[in-house]
Structure 1
């Protein structure tokens, strides 16, 4: 059984003034299996962010369906949606979304605090994650005291601490230098190998080359996909670059 099923999702926005309709997603269908690492790519305006917001249950499709582990997200009641996100989804953002008045530890604990968990349980969950991500000695520091890469590792820890069904990453390397990006992608690879399912939206060919599959969105629909299989990251990089060139030059689907 697929972990995530997206079926014929369409999204139409009506502008605030004038009532003009904008079709952000036309007909998006795909599935994500447990333990997959999937990247979503496409030009600006292709519908990537809209799709991510729908997958995160921050927005609802105009038509179509999104199911997480067989549950249709449209059936989750508004009063339950925040708890549903905490229990099932982890989020990693480009700009970290850490609270400057909280230490890294308190930022990481936040989803568990909101879920009403006890402190000893939170400590027990935190330490193996912090050790894996290399931030154990940074936990007492505040976001303004650490580097961008260290902030993002804390954000990843916050995403993982609830043991989510799916981690959604929105341009996770976008605010990082090349060294910090490489380290984050290495960590994502390890986390995925340990069984965590990841879906990442990115403009970065390098980031996408670490995924096991890449979906390309064009004109609000899935244009093409590449399975990594036994390809090395360098080979995957070339394959992705070639596909993006085809998309930007208006060509058809390539094999």
Structure 2
């Protein structure tokens, strides 16, 4: 069953000091099935960040539709978009986006606080997430007291605590060392196995090799897609590397 339907997305930017227009996305269409784990890859300037921002309802397309459970995100009013985003989407960013003035527990609680959820209902949700993510001993610490890998696990907990329909991850391993990257990718794999839908933008072939499908974007269009099927992570990594080589060489 399709959870997300992206239909004929186009995004055109006008430059500030001239009449020149830049077409960042050109007729992008794809579907995301419930429980799928998709990675989006492409060179800088390919349009993948623009696409993610539109899927996150942080930007609106020039034309096209983004349907989440049949509801068009592009038609939601500015008045209601923040609540819709908070109730349906979970975000994991490269730079963590944690508040240094809040301890770990309060950072994770933040989406629930904004939704005015009673504390008595919030605490069990945190306890359910903290141990599997290996952060139960960090809840009273502040972000500046913990490592990058720990910060990203806190960010994952914050994204999951609202039970979002989709996790949107923007270069989630980009600021991590190799050990923390391996830990985070293992966590994402476990989250995916539990049935969570994940859509991740990444430059990392290793990160993308964990996904069940990879979309490659070039010049604002979907250039190719790769299904993992029965491939191992190593086989998927090699297939991704081969596709990126073709992408960079201008092959079709």
TM bucket, shorter chain: over 0.9
Residue 179 (structure 2) aligns with: 179
Residue 130 (structure 1) aligns with: 130
Deviates more, 1:101-110 or 1:69-78: 69-78
Superposition deviation, residue 2 in structure 1: 0.6
Superposition deviation, residue 56 in structure 1: 0.3
Q: Give per-residue Cα distances to partners, 1:173-216, cap 9 Å, x unaligned.
A: 00000000000000000001001100000000000000000000
Superposition deviation, residue 122 in structure 1: 0.7
User: TM-score, normalising length from structure 1?
Assistant: 0.98
- Runs of 4 or more above 2 Å deviation: none
RMSD between aligned residues: 0.6
Superposition deviation, residue 75 in structure 1: 2.1
Alignment of 1:122-161 (within 5 A): 122-161=122-161
Residue 70 (structure 1) aligns with: 70
Deviates more, 1:65-74 or 1:181-190: 65-74
Distance 1:140 1:168 in 2: 27
Q: Secondary structure of 1:138's partner?
A: coil
Residue 204 (structure 1) aligns with: 204
Distance 2:3 2:249 in 1: 34
Deviates more, 1:118-127 or 1:153-162: 118-127
Distance 1:125 1:44 in 2: 37
Distance 2:55 2:230 in 1: 28
Distance 2:139 2:10 in 1: 42
Residue 92 (structure 2) aligns with: 92
Superposition deviation, residue 13 in structure 1: 0.3
Superposition deviation, residue 76 in structure 1: 1.2
User: TM-score, normalising length from structure 2?
Assistant: 0.99
* Gap runs ≥5 in structure 2: none
Distance 1:173 1:183 in 2: 10
Q: Give per-residue Cα distances to partners, 1:32-79, cap 9 Å, x unaligned.
A: 000000000000100000000000000111011110011111221110
Distance 1:35 1:18 in 2: 44
Q: How many residues align?
A: 252
* Gap runs ≥5 in structure 1: none
Distance 1:203 1:159 in 2: 21
Distance 2:173 2:69 in 1: 28
Deviates more, 1:12-21 or 1:229-238: 12-21
Distance 1:77 1:225 in 2: 33
Residue 53 (structure 2) aligns with: 53
